[in-house]
Amino acid sequence: MALLTTRIAKHRRDSQRRGWLHRAAESGDLYMVRTLVNAGAKTNWNWSGFPIASPVYLAGKEGQPKVIELILSLQSDLIKFITSVDPSVLHACAYTGDLKLVMKILRAFKYPRRLCGHPSFRPRFYVPYEGVALIHAAAYGGNPCIIRQFAKRQVDLFALTRCRMTALHVAALKGHCHAIKLLVYYKVPIEAVDRLGRTAWSLAMGCGHFEAAQLLVKLGAKENVGYHNVSFSWDNLAGG
């Protein structure tokens, strides 16, 4: 009985420590992240209080590149962590728009660029995570250099989310004009509609990104009269 009580208490302390790591990563508290990881908190643990898997992924969603960099620096085996422990790490880095972080992950795998698009040479993190492909994460971050790097490595530029959004929809949602120009250059359909019938132009207008909407019109998008206001949430992106 005493042994069982001890195990329950240990599990409770461990669960609290893991939950705190998620909160610290999301808020960008570097000191707390370092303290908790050094105390044994698991960086790949899926806490039931959050819909997305790991502290790294949460930090990426909240635009905390320094937190991701810190967690990666504390890993003894970076490649094992990226591939088998937390395959969402490249998505998280792309969300932040931090090119240096993305290149650190890509260079950890010494695959030739011309072979990265072949399924037998493709790491696990190239596949969609939580319904979101790498190109959507890059479009959300808005860094055109990351989009170019993914294009060179034959990442699927035409992937759709669960609600049938293209990367151009995501860039329009966030109002990233440079990303919009580049995606149109890569022939991502400018008039594609999502599951609710919205184009990239209507999403840009609905989110109040009028400069992005004007740019889309210049690039060939049609102005749809029936656009409506869009309250952005992660359901808009992943369609979960």
Domains along the chain with CATH numbers: 17-106+118-127 (1.25.40.20), 131-240 (1.25.40.20)
> Within a 10 A sphere around the Cβ of 205, how many other Cβ atoms?
23
Neighbours of 12 (CB within 10 A): 10
CB atoms within 10 A of CB 111: 14
Tokens 């960008």 -> residue: 28
Answer whether 126's CB lies under 8 Å from 114's CB: no
pLDDT values of the chain reduced to their tens digit, one per residue, 240 residues: 454 344 434 444 444 445 788 888 888 889 888 988 888 777 766 554 444 457 888 888 788 889 888 888 888 777 777 766 566 788 888 888 889 888 888 887 654 444 344 444 445 445 556 667 889 989 999 999 999 998 888 888 998 888 889 999 999 999 999 999 999 999 999 999 988 888 999 999 888 899 999 999 999 888 875 555 555 554 455 554
∠ CA 115-188-203, rounded to 5°: 135
Give the residue ranges of DSSP H helices in 28-154: 30-38, 55-61, 65-73, 78-80, 89-96, 99-108, 134-141, 144-152
